[in-house]
Structure 1
Amino acid sequence: MDNLNFRHLYYFWVIARDGSIARAAENLSLTPQTLSGQLATFESALGNALFRRANRSLQLTDFGQTVFSYADEMFQTAQALTDVLRQPPENRPLSLSVGIAASIHKLIAYHLTAPALSLSREVRLNCRTGDTTELLKRLGQRELDIVLTDRQPASAEAGQFRSHRLASSSMSLFAAPDLAASLSADFPASLDRQPFLATSLDAPYISALMNWFSSQNIRVKVVAEVDDSALIKVFGREGLGYFAAPTAISEEVCRQYRVVHVASIQEVRDNLYAVTRARGGYNAAVAELLLERPELDDKIENTEQ
């Protein structure tokens, strides 16, 4: 960094972009002699030639091409930032970095984040999925603006974060049509020893669902543990077993994965929260995500059997 003069780097970038010192000097409002001297000073500081002359034109050396690739990214980004800063504050795009717990179903995650994208201002959305603990760590380090999760922060973290309730949906069971037909008769006893597709993630609703199975004297036959909510639905579509998903998205699950809604279990719920830092404000996009979503509460769809 001691040898890197950013004005010289900018001059080099313009020369490489324009293809000649004469054209670059005109664009920079400098004399060709001055610009040539600045380039020579920069090459001397770096200890390597950036250009070679070929048929009265300048060509980048291998070293020059490497430097140019970094400079081009830097100054393109700087230009984009300049364009944003020239806009009135109310027209500038909003930045929204969202952490989404891997245990949240992907369709639910979409419903929770989509409202922010419908604002009148442009929103640049960046989503990261992962374990809630790791996402909260990144939230505390200001790498994220908000975390969407199915559990509240631990009491030890209560002073650092604020938890906002968004929705609470009962859970439903789904299966491919043939399997669903056999499970619907004499429910819930029909579930006994039938193939079940379980999530391998530590989702709170899974513990509640297992307790419900036990209360109904249902012996659970787990045929696969999957840590991806979309993949578990694909397995279900192929008839490998039945699976659980929030009742709130039952219509979409049935339509997208061509499965059938078997039954809703009101005693088992999927609770959804937004977590923000306890101190500091947030922009309009984050504020939109903090609104409760009653349309996701106990929404039982009349799906085709």
Structure 2
Amino acid sequence: MEQLNLRHLYYFWVISREGSIARASEVLELAPQTLSGQLATFEASVGGRLFSRERRQLILTDLGRLILGYADDIFALTGELAETLRLDPSERPLTLRAGISASIHKLIAYYLLQPAMAVKRSIQLECQTGRTEDLVLSLKRKELDLVLTDRMPKLQEEANLTVHPLAGSSMSLFAAPELADRLRDGFPESLNGQPLLANATDAPYFERLMNWFSLNGVRMRLIARVDDSALIKVFGSQGYGVFAAPTVIREEVCRQYEVEQIASIDDVVDELFAITRGGKIAHDGVRAICEAHSDFQGLK
């Protein structure tokens, strides 16, 4: 069967729902003989009987039940499509496909995306995480509507992409309560020789943090590199070492992972950017994200 006849599939679906050709013919406004002929043609195309007769009732065969499962999904979607198309264009859901650099903390990504969810038009959000370079390629192919990243990308002029600086946050150091309490006294010298949990995705803020340590004569012991921001905090909460996270989310980090802040380092900033196609932003959700950075409380 090279091509499925959707009209025949629809006739079969209605017959299955109504339970008889007579009732289905009334719904479809077709003569019973015509509908029987269409069903026979469909059965021939799929290579088997779809119904058996028992006491004048139509009973689905195994093949019929298999095809009905697919038909239910297909016509449920077409029903949703029909409802959507009946809406005014301004009321139809708008898909927002966002690429998020893997090194961005998930809570930060949530705050950056939140303005899009508050626009008047209904937004259907699709998120994809990965390397900034790969996400930018997807953006060029129009597979994404914007990319959120913590590194300034090198863009070619012919790429027709625009970088929008967003608000940034200073970084803080966190640890399990006992370790954090011990390291506050004499900070930053107290960090010497202490275990450090690092981000394995080469996040730009981590390089800045290492430079800050060097300038302040601090040498910590790197014990793990983890590319999952949540997993780093789990290790930290169990007392395995010190980890860094944006200061703006310190309350959520402390509450969720039962850790404490050691100190905030204002000289180390996690910079954030949005990358879009073209110069003028037409997408309501993308525009809301790019324009809301000045209202992103606490990010400086």
For residues 173 and 133 of structure 2, what CA distance do their matches in structure 1 show? 28
Deviations 1:106-135 (A, max 9, x none): 110110111111222221112122222222
Structure 1 segments (4+ residues) deviating >6 Å: none
Aligned to 1:168: 168
Aligned to 2:36: 36
For residues 297 and 169 of structure 1, what CA distance do their matches in structure 2 show? 10
For residues 205 and 237 of structure 1, what CA distance do their matches in structure 2 show? 21
What aligned pairs does 1:2-151 form with structure 2 within 5 A after superposition?
A: 2-151=2-151
The alpha-carbon distance between structure 1 residues 149 and 187, as it changes in their structure 2 partners (threshold 3 A), is same
Partner of 1:282, secondary structure, is: coil
Structure 1 portions without partners, runs of 5+:
301-305
Partner of 1:107, secondary structure, is: helix
Aligned to 2:248: 248
What is the TM-score when the length of structure 2 is the normalising length?
A: 0.92
Partner of 1:100, secondary structure, is: strand
Tell whether the 8 Å contact from 2:281 to 2:287 is kept in structure 1 after alignment. Answer: no
Which range moved further: 289-298 or 46-55?
289-298
For residues 255 and 278 of structure 1, what CA distance do their matches in structure 2 show? 40
How large is the Cα RMSD of the aligned pairs?
2.1
| Aligned AA (1:245) | A
Tell whether the 8 Å contact from 2:171 to 2:264 is kept in structure 1 after alignment. Answer: yes
Tell whether the 8 Å contact from 2:197 to 2:236 is kept in structure 1 after alignment. Answer: yes
Tell whether the 8 Å contact from 1:3 to 1:46 is kept in structure 2 after alignment. Answer: no
Tell whether the 8 Å contact from 2:150 to 2:271 is kept in structure 1 after alignment. Answer: yes
Structure 1 residue 268: Cα displacement: 1.4
Give the aligned length.
300
Deviations 1:12-33 (A, max 9, x none): 1222233322222222121222
What is the TM-score when the length of structure 1 is the normalising length?
A: 0.91
Structure 1 residue 273: Cα displacement: 1.0
Which range moved further: 102-111 or 144-153?
144-153
Structure 1 residue 92: Cα displacement: 1.5
Structure 1 residue 157: Cα displacement: 7.0
Aligned to 2:223: 223
Sequence identity (%): 53
Aligned to 1:196: 196
Aligned to 1:303: none
Tell whether the 8 Å contact from 1:167 to 1:292 is kept in structure 2 after alignment. Answer: no
Structure 2 portions without partners, runs of 5+:
none
